[in-house]
């Protein structure tokens, strides 16, 4: 256990870029705004712009970031071909865990389907940083993020 702690301390001390971000957001409203802006860029086919504006806030490693960016870029033409053009972005839900974590769920509405985006922000000593991001086309998951409104 001591070896793991020492190795972690060494990596953080001497390779801070492995675990660091360059910016933090001041509050939850800014986190919602950034998330909305990312999905808006994506919805217009500007995947590189979407990833460029999120990059300063990420806490995950560069390899994971590049992998997500490459997959998203590669899948965008397929999504547009199968689900049609974007017709809007909607904020579906915002949920908090105490005062240190926030989950933001947005939908990119397409002509034939919906792409769900989920962002997890964590509040550290500097502010709100982007801890996790994911997207998918599993429309059934949207019912878990909304208050159920029965007809």
Is the pTM higher than 0.85? no
Q: CA dist 72 to 17, 24, 32, 49, 61, Å?
A: 23, 24, 21, 12, 17
Q: What is the pLDDT of residues 7-54, one digit of tens each?
A: 444 444 444 444 456 899 999 999 999 999 999 999 999 999 999 999
User: What does the mean pLDDT of the chain come to?
Assistant: 85
């Amino acid at each position: 256990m001591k070896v793991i702690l020492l190795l972690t301390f060494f990596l953080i001390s001497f390779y801070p870029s492995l675990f660091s971000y360059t910016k933090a957001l001041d509050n939850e409203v800014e986190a919602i705004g950034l998330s909305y802006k990312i999905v808006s860029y994506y919805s217009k086919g500007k995947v590189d712009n979407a990833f460029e504006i999120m990059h300063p806030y990420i806490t995950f490693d560069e390899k994971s970031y590049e992998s997500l960016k490459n997959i998203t870029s590669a899948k965008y033409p397929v999504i547009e071909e199968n689900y049609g053009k974007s017709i809007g972005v909607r904020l579906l839900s915002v949920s908090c865990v105490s005062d240190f974590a926030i989950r933001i769920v947005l939908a990119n509405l397409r002509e034939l389907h919906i792409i769900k985006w989920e962002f997890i922000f964590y509040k550290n000593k500097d502010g709100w940083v982007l801890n996790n991001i994911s997207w998918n086309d599993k429309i059934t998951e949207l019912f878990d993020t909304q208050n159920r409104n029965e007809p």
